[in-house]
Amino acid sequence: MNPGQGLARLSINQETVRQLSLPELAGKAAELGIGGVGLWRDPVRAYGPAAAARLLRQHGLAVTSLCRGGFFTAREAGARRAALDDNRAALDEAAELGTGLLVLVSGGLPDGERDLAAARERVADALAELAPYARERGVRMAVEPLHPMYASDRCVVSTLGQALDLAERFPADEVGVVVDSYHLWWDERVPRQIARAGEQGRIAILQLADWVTPLPEGVLLGRGQLGDGAIDLRAFRTWTDAAGYRGPAEVEIFNPALWERDGAEVLRETAARYLQHVL
Amino acid sequence: MNPGQGLARLSINQETVRQLSLPELAGKAAELGIGGVGLWRDPVRAYGPAAAARLLRQHGLAVTSLCRGGFFTAREAGARRAALDDNRAALDEAAELGTGLLVLVSGGLPDGERDLAAARERVADALAELAPYARERGVRMAVEPLHPMYASDRCVVSTLGQALDLAERFPADEVGVVVDSYHLWWDERVPRQIARAGEQGRIAILQLADWVTPLPEGVLLGRGQLGDGAIDLRAFRTWTDAAGYRGPAEVEIFNPALWERDGAEVLRETAARYLQHVL
């Protein structure tokens, strides 16, 4: 994909319009000239990864990411083994689906633990264990830094710098990073870190959502439609462009107000907002 | 106050036990041997700043901070003038109350603005305007970095580094910084930044609360009792000790579950938790 090609670079993460079935999403996205979709494991398994791959190929849509693997921070051996097994299954599904990218949410602090740095080391250990398996399947793993408000319960990797510190222990085609505006917008180091990621060819994907308040209980489902919030979204696109990134711009919004609306209408709105606020 | 002096170094921010009246708080805190209290403008004005100062003196309690001034980020001239006037009133109240410290929450992004750096510059402008007034009254202003989840709606200063960048434009006895575990615990740069703040004598106060999830709607009232969450609170005490800080450890928890309980019981619990998790 090339920057500036209208909507060809836009990808819609499935959760943004979860009210649409996979065939509905594929049909409507293709109709609009959107270039790709990002998918989630549960609906992909329900549809069948091979059937999903066929469906999207028929519509000329790329699968820009599979969400998600990760949750690597358990200390107990049994729980660690289970997490690694689940990630191997996710890598298999990504390969079958025909996407080269598995997004990783690293996991939070186990109950009673207070050492973020030690938990991040366990993420590195898991990446090392999974890297050969991922390489064999042609799937790249992408470490996603999540906003610091998730540091205890979802993801001990809170900044792009920390994600790069982890990813840099591996070849760039094995472990990349996710640049998501929602998680990173507050951090003044991000332009520099995007440049650092770009120099290494490590930007696996650009994801977009806007920041709106008040945040909802649990802070998971409060992402805003592009243009509704505080983030300079175009800056994220231009920073990643300048860093040599030529991949998709995947819109990933979790917002119950969008889910209550007609899915096709939300898709059209998202495409229009992309042209207005990102391109 | 000296570290290690039992509860003499502990201060209780009034909002932690808002169910207690100011005389109740003063009486119960003094009974426990707690060294000080942090107060808020509304209840202080309701009681009268001079009367409050007398009350706390009678109980041998220090007033470790007044919360709060700030909200400096408006662009419109009238709103900026109103904010500065309100901060002058807060400085007057702090002086009358006999505390040397006014805590500043800088303010968020005005509607439709997306430039955090520009908003932080307006915070610097306001500090410059207020500094002479504060100096005349013998009140130090303390810039408080708030967690990045508040960057758009409450405080564009999200890290201790940013707070220091602002404070360093002024003499250390005019503008200091607040080190609050709740806002900073996720940031691996904090030990270094606390050392930097200490070298300049700029740590105005150490505040403590724990991080618990799920966060509530609006994310304002979800702070945890000491020891209930993910933060290594003792690390914050030892880092600030090592940086030469000898002031109070003020516990500031906003949590409706604590407010529903007997206030004296919450005070006893907080003192016990301080001994267990901080001292």
Crossing angle for the helix pair A190-199 and A160-167, to the nearest 10 degrees:
20
pLDDT of B1 reads 45
Q: Cβ contacts (< 8 Å) between B213 and chain A: which residues?
A: 152-153, 218
* CATH number of the domain that residue A56 is part of: 3.20.20.150
CA proximity to B26, closest of B64, B65, B52: B52
List the single residue in A109, A113, A218 with the smallest CB-CB distance to B214: A218
A228 contact B CB<8A:
no
CA of A220 vs chain B CAs: smallest distance (Å) = 10
Residue B214, chain A, CB below 8 Å: the answer is yes
Contacts of B188 in chain A (CB under 8 A): 116-117, 162
The answer to whether the CB atoms of B217 and A213 lie below 8 A apart is no
What pLDDT, in 10s, does the model give residues B125-158?
999 999 999 999 999 999 999 999 999 999 999 9
Using pLDDT thresholds of 50, 70 and 90, give the confidence band for residue B6: confident
This complex has an ipTM of 0.94
Give the whole-angstrom CA distance, residue B6 versus residue B13. Answer: 18
Judge whether A279 is closer than 8 Å to chain B, CB to CB.
Answer: no
Q: Which domain holds residue B93?
A: 3-277
Question: How much is the pLDDT for B105?
Answer: 98
What is the model's pTM?
A: 0.96
Residues B169-182: tens digit of each pLDDT: 999 999 999 999 99
Alpha helices in chain A (DSSP H): 22-32, 41-47, 49-58, 77-97, 116-137, 160-167, 181-184, 190-199, 233-242, 256-259, 263-277
Say if the Cβ atoms of B211 and A114 lie within 8 Å: no
Number of domains in chain B: 1
Asked whether the beta carbons of residue A149 and residue B148 sit closer than 8 angstroms, the reply is: yes
> What is the C-alpha to C-alpha distance for residues B242 and A238, in angstroms, rounded to an integer?
43
- What pLDDT score does A117 carry? 97
Nearest to B56 by CA among B94, B98, B89: B98
Confidence of residue B3 (pLDDT cuts 50, 70, 90): very low
Mean pLDDT of each 10-residue bin along chain A, 279 residues long: 72 98 98 97 97 98 97 96 98 97 98 96 98 98 98 98 98 98 98 98 98 97 98 98 98 98 98 97
